[in-house]
Amino acid sequence: MAVRLGRKSALELSMYRRIGVAPHQRGSLSGETCPDIFELDDGDFAVIGTDATDELTSSLPPDCARGAHQRIVAITRQTLTMARRDIPGA
């Protein structure tokens, strides 16, 4: 199933660059299964994190909705704060 993100389908997307520093630069010993953020070639972002959809869906505010194809992903604070310098307009 292709997921629509902006104008391209997921099958048409590719990673453009990492946002922030590599996991081993954040202290990961293995660097293998760590949260990460990437900018896609269309300007959107992809996040690797822990799927927290089941735990957090009931905590969403009333004005927020999650589509059946969407997941809530948790990443460490350090992952996001170290990515700040690479996020346009941040």
Share of residues in the chain with pLDDT > 90 (%): 33
Question: Could you report the per-residue pLDDT of 4-22, keeping only the tens digit for each?
Answer: 555 556 667 888 888 888 8
**Contact (CB, 8 A) for 75 and 37:** yes
Say if strands 36-40 and 15-18 run parallel, antiparallel, or are unpaired. antiparallel
The band of 43, judged by pLDDT with boundaries at 50, 70 and 90, is confident
| 32 contact partners, CB below 8 Å, separation of at least 6 | 23
User: Residues 51-73: what's their mean pLDDT?
Assistant: 95
